[in-house]
Amino acid sequence: MTSEVDFYELLEIERTADDATIKSSYRKLAMKYHPDKNAGCKDSEGRFKAISEAYDCLKDPQKRAAYDRFGHDAFRNGGGGGGGQGAGFGDFGDIFENIFGEFMGGQRGQQRGPRRGADLRYDMEITLEDAFQGKSSEITVDVSAQCDSCHGTGAKPGTSAKHCATCAGHGKVRAQQGFFVVERTCPTCHGAGQVIADPCGNCHGEGRVEKTKTLTVNIPPGVDEGTRVRLTGEGEAGARGAPPGDLYIFLHVARHPIFEREGTTLYARAPISFTTASLGGEIHIPGPDGVNHQIKIPAGTQSGRELRQRGAGMPVLQGRGRGDLVVRIEVETPTKLSAKQKALLEQFRETETGECNPQSEGFFQKMKSAWG
C-alpha cells in the first residue's frame, strides 16, 4: 500500500477547477517555490518539481480526464487503470479511447473482459495533534474481495471459463442496420468475452465476495482538512479476476479549542491583563507538539496586535520545516476590583495625560474639531 499526494491538492485547487484557475494557482505556487528564489533549499526544489508535474497533467484535457479516472496509475507503465490495460505516457491514445471510445465508435477503446473494481471512499476524523505528528491508524471496511474458493475466476474449482460462442470472445456483437453497423455489448457474456458453465458455489460466478477487512492507514505529519490518502488495490475487487480499485481516505481535522489553522500557520487568541499590556511581560502557549512556547509581550501592546513565533506552527506536508504561530492579543479589562485596586486606579487616573493614551486623545480632539 502506498500513499500519494493528489495533483489537485498539490496545486491547492478543487477538482472542478477550470483552466484559468489551474493556471493561476500554478503560477502563484511556481513563483513561491522556484529554485531561483530558494537557492539551496531541497524541499522547495522538490515541491517545485511536484507542482510542475501536476500542472503538466491537469492543463491537458486528455491527461486530466485519464487522471480523474485512473489516478496516478494512468501514467505508470503497466498501470492498473482500465481493466488491466497498461497506461503509460507512451500509449496515451489508448487511455483517451478507453474513456471516450464508446461515444466515438472506436475499437481500441472498447474494453474486453471484466471491469476493474470500483474505487471506495472512507472518511476519517483526526485531531490537530494527529495532523501535527502524523499517526498510524487501523480502520475496518466492508468491501467486495476476491473469492478464495475460485481465486477470482468465478468458475467452480477444477473448471474454467470458456470463450463466449455468441461474440467469439470479443465481448461485443455487431448488427447491420441499412448502411450502418451497430456494435453493442454481447447479451450472453455481458462484455466479459467468456462464459462460466459451472459457477463457483461460494461467489456464484462473480469471483468476489463481501468481506470485512482491517487496514492500516499511515497519516504523514502536516496533513490538512480534505487531504486524501490513497491505499492502492484496497478498493472493490474486480469481477472474475479483474484488478481491484483503490481505497481513498479523506481526512477531516476536528475543531481545536485553542488553535485555528491556515495552511501551516496556527492562530491563537490570548487574553492578557491591561497591566501586562501596559508594562510588558510574557505568556506561554502550549503547542500541538506539547511544547510551551514563550511569547514576549512588549510594553504598550494594544488589543488586536499579532505576535508571530517563527517555526512554531504546523509541519510542511512531505517536506521539512514548520510554519509560524501567530498569537492575537486581546487586552482584558478587569471587572471585579477590590477597594485597594480602585483607589490605586483613581490615583493613576489623576496622573494621566494625553501622552499615555495618544489614540483616545487624538480621537476626542477630532470630535471637538468636527463639532466646532
Please, which residues bridge with residue 125 across strands? 252
Please state at what angle helix 92-104 crosses helix 61-70, rounded to 10 degrees: 90
C-alpha cell at 59: 492543463
The per-residue pLDDT for range 5-60, each reduced to its tens digit, is 889 988 999 988 888 899 889 888 888 888 777 877 888 888 888 898 889 889 88
Cite the annotated binding site for Zn(2+) by residue number.
147, 150, 164, 167, 186, 189, 200, 203
Distance CA 238, CA 154 (A): 11
Predicted pLDDT at 178: 64
CB atoms within 10 A of CB 246: 24
323-356 confidence digits (pLDDT tens): 999 999 999 998 889 999 999 999 988 888 767 7
Q: Which residue ranges of the chain lie beneath pLDDT 50? A: 1-2, 77-111
CB 186 within 8 A of CB 110: no
Q: Rounded to whole angstroms, how far apart are CA atoms 101 and 117?
A: 20
What's the pLDDT at 248? Answer: 94
Separation CA 367–CA 345 (nearest Å)? 26
| Among candidate residues 242, 239, 149, the one with its CA nearest the CA of residue 201 | 149
Does the domain at 113-161+196-250 match CATH 3.40.30.10? Answer given as no
Segments of the chain assigned to CATH 2.60.260.20: 113-161+196-250, 259-370
Q: Is 71 exposed, middle or buried (0-12, 13-18, 19+ CB in 10 A)?
A: buried
Four-residue CA torsion sign, 300, 303, 304, 309: positive
How far CA 270 is from CA of 6, 261, 324, 344, in Å, comes to 36, 15, 16, 26
Rounded to two decimals, the pTM is: 0.57
Give the torsion sign (CA, 13, 52, 128, 313).
negative
Would you give the end-to-end CA distance of the chain in angstroms?
A: 77
CB 327, CB 285: distance < 8 Å: yes
CATH-assigned architecture of domain 259-370: Sandwich (2.60)
Q: What beta strand segments (E) does 114-188 contain?
A: 120-126, 135-146, 162-163, 172-177, 180-185
pLDDT at 363: 58
Residue 367 is predicted with a pLDDT of 64
Long-range contacts of 52-59 (CB under 8 A, 24+ apart): 52/26, 53/7, 54/7, 54/8, 54/10, 54/11, 54/26, 55/11, 55/22, 55/23, 55/26, 55/30, 57/7, 58/7, 58/8, 58/11, 58/22, 59/19, 59/22, 59/23, 59/26
